[in-house]
Structure 1
Amino acid sequence: MNNFITLGDESEAAAYNSVALGASSLANRPNTVSVDEGDYNLYRQITNVADGVYDFDAVNSAEVLQLRQEVVMMHSQQAETDKKLYKQAEMESELKQLRRELLELKKALKK
């Protein structure tokens, strides 16, 4: 027994525990749900999907867009941090140079 389900005209579930949804859909891998046939660019949208809660839940566009915004924000914050670190390194370099010049001046005054 393959435990498969097909819904739709000419849909086919050809693998163990698979589900084919929609006309001409083909589910040919075990433990999968297919909403298209895979060969002729017949793609379908799955709509009204709630936000995922657990590791293996589906994600929706809103979750992906939120993640993208967070990544962009983190990238921007990292760029600001990098600028500050660069500025700090410049200041440290200038301070070292001033210390060297001060030492040279002290030596010159002792002569």
Structure 2
Amino acid sequence: MIRAIDQFTDALGEPLREYSRGRLAALFADPRPSTWEDAHGVVVNVRGLTLWQAWIAVDSAAPLTGRHVTLDPFDRVVILREWDRVPDVAMLERIVRFALEDALELDRR
């Protein structure tokens, strides 16, 4: 899956910036709520599709709401509600395939 990062693009069709690549690499290496939180909004193809949108497209049971947070009086983030679930490795593979195929479909038009 790490090789897929090289195939992802931003909405302009440009290669992902290192920051986004790093967030995806961390998620692929260790899928858990904190790495998913960091990576779910990364745009992964020229259509502007985010990783979370790709998950929703391939899994009807994907959560439609994410982490809920607030700030304490010292401006520290307090998690009020965590993701109901995050994609496991097998689901991440499906998400990656979908996002890359979605971009190829646009190229064919």
Q: Highest Rg: 1 or 2?
A: 1
Q: Which has the higher contact order (CA 8 A, sep 6+)?
A: 2
In which range does the TM-score fall when normalised by the shorter chain?
Answer: under 0.3
TM-score by length of 2: 0.21
